[in-house]
A and B are shown apart, each in its own frame.
Chain A
Amino acid sequence: MKLQHSFLSVCILTFIAGCDSNDSPASEEVNKDTTEPEITLSTLAANRSIYSSTYSINGTVIDNQEVTSLQLKVNDLTKNVTFNGGDFDVSFVLTPGLNNYELIALDAAGNGASMTDSIYFGQQVAAGGAHSGAIIDGQIWTWGRNNLGQTGVGFTSKLNTDENHPTTPQKIEVLDNEELVTFTSLAFNQNASIALDNEGDVWAWGDGDGGQLGLGDQDSVVLDVDYYTPQKINALKDIVSITRGYDHTVALDKNGQVFTFGENDKGQLGNSSNEDADYPQLVTLTNIVLITAASDSTYAIDSDGILWGWGENDNGQLGQGSDDTNDYNTPVQIPLLEKVISVAAGKAHVLALGESGKVYGWGLNASNQIGNTVEDTWPDEIYEAVELPWITQAKAVWANGNQSFVEKSDQLIYPWGFNGTGTLGLESDQDPISPTVAIAELNNVQDIAPGALHTIALRKDRSIFSWGWSFEGSLGIKEPINIWGYTVPQKVEFNQ
Chain B
Amino acid sequence: MKSKLYLLLNILLVGCGGSDGASDSVVDNTLVLGATGGVATVEYQENNGFLQFIPDLDIQEYNGASQGRELFIATWGPAPGARDLLDGYGPLAITDSCANCHESSSRAESLKSDGSTGNGILFRLRDIEGNVDSMLGAQLQTYSADGVPEGSVSWSEGSSNEILFHLNDNVNALDEGIVLAPRLSPQLIGMGLLDLVPESVILEYQDVNDTDMNGIFGRANQQQQCIGRFGWKAIHCSLDGQIVGALQQDMGLTSTLNPAEPCSDNQGICNIYPSGGDPEVSDKSVQDINDFLTILAVPERRINKQETFLAGRALFNSTGCNACHRETLSTGEVERFPILSNQTFYPYTDLLLHNMGPELSDGAKESGAEADEWRTPPLWGLGLIEGDGKSRFLHDGRALTIEQAILWHGGESESAKETYSQLTNDEKDALLAFLRAI
Residues in A lying within 8 Å of B, measured CB to CB = 160, 427, 440-443, 459, 461, 463, 465, 467, 477-484, 486-491
Q: Does B60 contact A461, Cβ atoms closer than 8 Å? A: yes
Residues in chain B near residue A442, CB distance under 8 A: 59
Given contacts A440-B53, A481-B85, A483-B82, contact A491 B60 (CB under 8 A): yes
Residues in chain A near residue B71, CB distance under 8 A: 481
* Interface residue total, chain B, C-beta cutoff 8 A: 25
Quote the shortest CB–CB distance from A175 to chain B (angstroms). 34
Q: Does A489 contact B83, Cβ atoms closer than 8 Å? A: no
Q: CB within 8 A of A441: which of B51, B58, B69, B83? A: B58
Q: Taking CB as reference atom, which chain A residue is nearest B284?
A: A479
Complex CA gap A491/B71 in Å reads 17
Q: Does A490 contact B57, Cβ atoms closer than 8 Å? A: no
Complex CA gap A361/B76 in Å reads 41
Where chain B touches its partner, the secondary structure class is: helix
Residues in chain A near residue B282, CB distance under 8 A: 479
Q: CB within 8 A of A479: which of B51, B53, B85? A: B85
Q: Mark B135-179, 1 if CB is under 8 A from A, else 0.
A: 000000000000000000000000000000000000000000000
Quote the shortest CB–CB distance from A391 to chain B (angstroms). 20
Q: Taking CB as reference atom, which chain B residue is nearest A439?
A: B59
Complex CA gap A483/B82 in Å reads 9
**Most B-side CB within 10 Å, residue of A461, A481, A483:** A481
Q: Mark B365-391, 1 if CB is under 8 A from A, else 0.
A: 000000000000000000000000000
Given contacts A479-B285, A483-B83, contact A441 B59 (CB under 8 A): yes
Given contacts A478-B284, A482-B83, contact A489 B48 (CB under 8 A): no
Residues in chain B near residue A487, CB distance under 8 A: 66, 69-70
Residues in chain A near residue B337, CB distance under 8 A: none
Complex CA gap A160/B285 in Å reads 18
Residues in chain A near residue B317, CB distance under 8 A: none
Q: Can you list 11 A-B pairs with a CB-CB distance of less than 8 A? A: A427-B51, A479-B67, A479-B85, A479-B282, A479-B285, A481-B67, A482-B85, A488-B53, A488-B62, A490-B64, A490-B67
Q: CB within 8 A of A488: which of B60, B69, B82, B284? A: B69
Using A427-B48, A441-B53, A488-B62 as known contacts, list a sample of 5 further A-B pairs with CB atoms less than 8 Å apart, ordered by residue number in A.
A481-B71, A481-B83, A486-B66, A486-B70, A491-B60
Complex CA gap A465/B62 in Å reads 11
Within 8 A of A (CB), among B27-73: 48, 51, 53, 57-60, 62, 64-67, 69-71
Complex CA gap A441/B71 in Å reads 21
Where chain A touches its partner, the secondary structure class is: loop
Q: Does A488 contact B83, Cβ atoms closer than 8 Å? A: no
The answer to the question of B74 belonging to the interface, with a C-beta cut-off of 8 Å to chain A, is: yes
Q: Taking CB as reference atom, which chain A residue is nearest B51?
A: A427
Quote the shortest CB–CB distance from A423 to chain B (angstroms). 14
Complex CA gap A469/B69 in Å reads 15
Complex CA gap A277/B70 in Å reads 44
Quote the shortest CB–CB distance from A85 to chain B (angstroms). 36
Q: Taking CB as reference atom, which chain B residue is nearest A484?
A: B70
Q: Taking CB as reference atom, which chain B residue is nearest A412?
A: B1
Q: Taking CB as reference atom, which chain A residue is nearest B85?
A: A481
Residues in B lying within 8 Å of A, measured CB to CB = 1, 48, 51, 53, 57-60, 62, 64-67, 69-71, 74, 82-86, 282, 284-285
Complex CA gap A169/B86 in Å reads 23
Q: Taking CB as reference atom, which chain B residue is nearest A441?
A: B59
Complex CA gap A486/B69 in Å reads 9
Residues in chain A near residue B84, CB distance under 8 A: 160
Complex CA gap A461/B59 in Å reads 12
Q: Taking CB as reference atom, which chain A residue is nearest B104?
A: A427
Quote the shortest CB–CB distance from B132 to chain A (angstroms). 34
Q: Taking CB as reference atom, which chain A residue is nearest B56?
A: A441
Q: Does A465 contact B67, Cβ atoms closer than 8 Å? A: no
Residues in chain A near residue B74, CB distance under 8 A: 481, 484
Complex CA gap A467/B70 in Å reads 12
Complex CA gap A461/B84 in Å reads 34
Residues in chain B near residue A491, CB distance under 8 A: 59-60, 62
Residues in chain A near residue B285, CB distance under 8 A: 479
Quote the shortest CB–CB distance from B280 to chain A (angstroms). 13
Q: Does A441 contact B57, Cβ atoms closer than 8 Å? A: yes
Q: Taking CB as reference atom, which chain B residue is nearest A488?
A: B66
Quote the shortest CB–CB distance from A109 to chain B (angstroms). 43
Q: Does A489 contact B284, Cβ atoms closer than 8 Å? A: no
Residues in chain B near residue A484, CB distance under 8 A: 70, 74, 83
Q: Taking CB as reference atom, which chain B residue is nearest A463?
A: B60
Complex CA gap A34/B12 in Å reads 50
Q: Does A467 contact B66, Cβ atoms closer than 8 Å? A: yes
Complex CA gap A160/B74 in Å reads 20
Q: Does A490 contact B62, Cβ atoms closer than 8 Å? A: yes
Residues in chain A near residue B51, CB distance under 8 A: 427
Residues in chain B near residue A467, CB distance under 8 A: 66
**Most A-side CB within 10 Å, residue of B48, B57, B62:** B62
Complex CA gap A489/B1 in Å reads 15
Complex CA gap A479/B284 in Å reads 8
Residues in chain A near residue B57, CB distance under 8 A: 441
Complex CA gap A368/B66 in Å reads 26
Q: Taking CB as reference atom, which chain B residue is nearest A490?
A: B66
Quote the shortest CB–CB distance from B296 to chain A (angstroms). 12
Residues in chain B near residue A443, CB distance under 8 A: 1
Residues in chain A near residue B58, CB distance under 8 A: 441
Residues in chain A near residue B1, CB distance under 8 A: 441, 443
Given contacts A461-B60, A463-B60, A478-B284, contact A489 B86 (CB under 8 A): no
Residues in chain B near residue A478, CB distance under 8 A: 284
Residues in chain B near residue A461, CB distance under 8 A: 60
Residues in chain B near residue A480, CB distance under 8 A: 85
Complex CA gap A463/B58 in Å reads 12
Residues in chain A near residue B53, CB distance under 8 A: 440-441, 488
Quote the shortest CB–CB distance from B349 to chain A (angstroms). 28
Residues in chain A near residue B66, CB distance under 8 A: 467, 486-490
Quote the shortest CB–CB distance from A446 to chain B (angstroms). 14
Complex CA gap A481/B64 in Å reads 13
Given contacts A427-B48, A481-B85, contact A465 B59 (CB under 8 A): yes
Residues in chain B near residue A463, CB distance under 8 A: 60
Q: Taking CB as reference atom, which chain B residue is nearest A491?
A: B60
Complex CA gap A151/B84 in Å reads 23
Quote the shortest CB–CB distance from A486 to chain B (angstroms). 6
Q: Does A481 contact B70, Cβ atoms closer than 8 Å? A: yes
Complex CA gap A440/B84 in Å reads 30
Complex CA gap A166/B66 in Å reads 20
Complex CA gap A430/B70 in Å reads 17
Quote the shortest CB–CB distance from A405 to chain B (angstroms). 16
Residues in chain A near residue B48, CB distance under 8 A: 427
**Most A-side CB within 10 Å, residue of B48, B51, B84, B285:** B84
Q: Taking CB as reference atom, which chain B residue is nearest A442?
A: B59
Complex CA gap A441/B55 in Å reads 8
**Most B-side CB within 10 Å, residue of A427, A463, A478, A483:** A427
**Most A-side CB within 10 Å, residue of B62, B67, B285:** B67
**Most A-side CB within 10 Å, residue of B53, B70, B71, B284:** B70
